[in-house]
Amino acid sequence: MRETLQALLVQDMARALLLAAAAFVLTLATGGYWIRFLRRHRIGKQIRLEGPQSHQIKTGTPTMGGIIILLPVIVLTVAFNLIDRWSILLPLAVLVAFAILGAIDDYMSLVGSRSKTYGFTPRTKMALMMLIAFGAALALYLPPPFGLANFGQVRVPFMGQFDIGLWFIPFAMLIIVGTSNAVNLTDGLDSLAGWNLTLAFAAYGVITFLNGEFINLMAFCFTLVGACAAFLWYNAHPAQVFMGDLGSLSLGAVLGVIALQSQQWLLLPVVGLVFVAEALSVILQVGYFKWTKRRTGVGRRIFKMSPLHNHFELLGWSETQVMQRFVLVGMVAALVGISLALTINEAQRARMTVERPAITVER
């Protein structure tokens, strides 16, 4: 029985890696067309004036490039990873919903757009994200046919699996929206978000493979890995295209859903360490500025500028140095996350070993 299961897992891994390769080739083949389409329709990024002055040269660079990643992933998933694997409908739906939200936000912030804004107001954007996240959280928690019957399950390193009940719903909403925003904040340097998303999806691909219960998610993760890797071909410094909110919001949200659906969401802050650091830098900067202004009348800052990558740029690091060093940190964080997932599996096996004799005695 064990040998049969191992053989099936190997076959599924081979299939997942083939999907990753197919996503890479398809994304690479269609990326050039989409960049020409975006340029032809003048879908160019409007750079904020308060950002580093070295970034102003990027004004007008094609944005909404997330479509280069999303379309191949959607096509390949529907064609090869959906039939008899209907649980993949949830991450697909979240991917599409956040992509639509991000696309509208991107359109409102285009160079020369009539709105003359940088997109949705923060409150409107957050309300829409929370609404989508609430629907996803319910779908994860509720039993069939309304949901995936996750029932608040979470796997804790060194301890095993636990049920947190209805608390799962607010936690799930926080994770989906928080990860989406964190990836969006990280998408400020060429290749930075793309590289760290590639590493995070690869880590969860391995984690779901090691678990053996979420093989459909494994194939989905590696499809995303292939597409994100191919996007880096066009997003390498100097970038020919930006991911935009269309890409960063949707890919961040689906990363959160994958972590929740695999019940390994406690590992997300480890696997996505760079995303967490970028988001925390903004929270700390804004919070400290408001607190000091209220106490002293003069707002003070912890960092030269947030998100964190801007701080290091102003310290004198080049854009390429910041990107490469953050990616190295992300790579080590992904490895640590995988190793912690192995401790969860060991804890589960140990618990099953202890429980089985008790059942035998009662019989």
Residue ranges of the annotated binding site for Mg(2+) are 184, 245
Show binding-site residues: 184, 245
Q: What is the CA radius of gyration of the chain?
A: 21
- The one-character DSSP state at 139 is H
Q: How many CB atoms lie within 10 A of CB 319?
A: 20
- Whose CA is closest to 207, among 228, 225, 183? 225
Q: Of 185, 187, 192, which Cα lies nearest the Cα of 236?
A: 192
Q: What share of the chain is helix, strand, coil (3-state, %, to 5)?
A: 75, 5, 25
Q: What are the b/e assignments for 12-23, b being 16+ CB within 10 Å?
A: bbebbbbbbebb
Torsion 316-322-326-329 (CA) sign = negative
The DSSP annotation for 167-216 comes to GHHHHHHHHHHHHHHHHHHHTTSTTHHHHHHHHHHHHHHHHHHHHSS-HH
Could you count the other beta carbons within 10 Å of the beta carbon of residue 44?
20
The amino acid occupying position 220 is F
